[in-house]
């Protein structure tokens, strides 16, 4: 079986990423897998100027917010296991 792999960077200043696997049997295209992440507009207020708000794009998946997402590719179950990941 093949899986679409997407990585999401969690909100905040840490460099914490999470990896998600979407089976190609259920998500036939890259776009189908990416569509699981809902794009939302967020606002942040700078700590130096409280009258200035910055808009930015974030992504929500299963209640978690991600600052950035990236599509890694389509990999077989064997390729994933070779990288030390059990599905």
At 20-40, the pLDDT tens digits run 999 999 999 999 999 999 999
| Percent of the chain's residues with pLDDT above 70 | 98
How confident is the prediction for the chain on average, in pLDDT? 90
**Three-state SS for 82?**
helix
CA distance 15 to 39: 20
Reading the block at residue 36, the tokens are 């699981």
Could you tell me the maximum CA-CA distance found in the chain, to the nearest angstrom? 52
Which pLDDT band holds residue 62 (cuts at 50, 70, 90)? very high
What pTM value is reported for the model? 0.83
Reading the block at residue 12, the tokens are 């905040």
């Amino acid at each position: 079986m093949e899986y679409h792999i997407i990585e999401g960077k969690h909100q905040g200043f840490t460099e914490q990423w999470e990896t998600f696997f979407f089976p190609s049997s259920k998500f036939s295209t890259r776009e189908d897998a990416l569509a699981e992440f809902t794009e939302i507009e967020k606002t942040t207020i700078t700590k130096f100027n409280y009258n200035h708000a910055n808009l930015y794009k974030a992504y929500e998946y299963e209640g978690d917010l991600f600052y950035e997402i990236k599509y890694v590719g389509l990999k077989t179950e064997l390729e994933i296991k070779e990288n030390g990941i059990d599905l």
